[in-house]
Amino acid sequence: MVEADEVLDTSGLSCPMPVLKAKKAMEKLSPGKVLKIIATDRGSVGDIPAWAKNNGYELVDRGEENGKFIFYVKKPE
Amino acid sequence: MAEEKKKKKMCIIVSKGTLDAAYPPLILASTAASMDWEVHLFFTFYGLDIINKKKNKSLKVAPIANPAMPMPVPNIIGMLPGMTAMATMMMKRMMKKGNVPSIEELINMCREMGVRFYGCQMTMDVMGISEEDLIPVDACLGAAGYLDIASDADVNLFI
């Protein structure tokens, strides 16, 4: 499993909040670091990968934990 | 050396001023901005209410002639005084329960992320709205000014 440098929990939030919060979190992140995003919004399954691609972030891993969607997004060096 | 990729661009004409119609353009705009897109919103006709300081905190959804209400209201009931206020309250409550941000919050997030806002000059003149009535906008434009901005957008929408 990928090591996360920061964690963002968006549990309970609906579209478009997970990507808006993720954007802010990524801006604070240093290049090369990985943000773990936790979401319960079903739309985030497609939204987070699309959001990452458009920003030029790398989706290094994804999965599910306790019924929540997990994404590991890396900020490019 | 890799060339700097041109940002994607979206332009939306926002023409409706009801509570339900205010959500889609603002959700799309804030989301696109979070995806590093350049976003322009052109508020025209009733859409201006969304950025009108005197009106944008009291946008409403009407149950009359609206068969899509979550709890359908017969038109003859929807006509009664107070029904619009009730439908509006129900919708606001529903959005809050779903943890969807309010219109005001979405506007603030759009502005924070650099979404460009424009007022339609013609509508403002016809309806007697001045720029001071609006939340800060980037410009008040006519149709040609807007089309010039929209002409090279990747996504163009009319809502």
Q: What is the mean pLDDT of residues A44-63?
A: 94
| Cα separation, A45 vs A57, whole angstroms | 16
- Report yes or no on B31 lying in a domain: yes
How many domains are there within chain A?
1
What pairing do the DSSP bridges indicate for beta strands B38-43 and B9-14? Answer: parallel
Is residue B111 a part of any domain in this protein? yes
Q: How many domains does chain B have?
A: 1
Nearest residue to B151 via CA among B76, B40, B45: B40
- Scanning the structure block, which residue is given the tokens 């943890």? B99
pLDDT in tens, B10-50: 999 999 999 999 999 999 999 999 999 999 999 999 999 99
Q: Does A39 touch chain B (CB under 8 A)?
A: no
Which residues of B are less than 8 Å from A15 in CB distance? 27, 31, 100
Q: A13 — contact with chain B (CB < 8 Å)?
A: yes
Is residue B80 predicted with pLDDT exceeding 80? yes
Would B4 be classed as within a structural domain? Answer: no
Dist CA B122 CA B8 (whole Å) = 28
The domain of A47 spans 15-32+43-58
Please tell me which residue of chain B has the smallest CA distance to A22.
B34
Angle B37-B152-B118 (CA atoms, 0-180°, nearest 5)?
65
Q: What CATH number is given to the structural domain containing B50?
A: 3.40.1260.10
Q: Is residue B24 part of a domain?
A: yes
Of the partner residues A12, A13, A16, the one whose CB lies closest to the CB of residue B27 = A16
Q: Which domain holds residue B150?
A: 9-58+104-158
Q: Which helix (H) or strand (E) element contains residue A39? A: strand A34-39
Task: Report the pLDDT averaged over residues A25-40.
Answer: 96
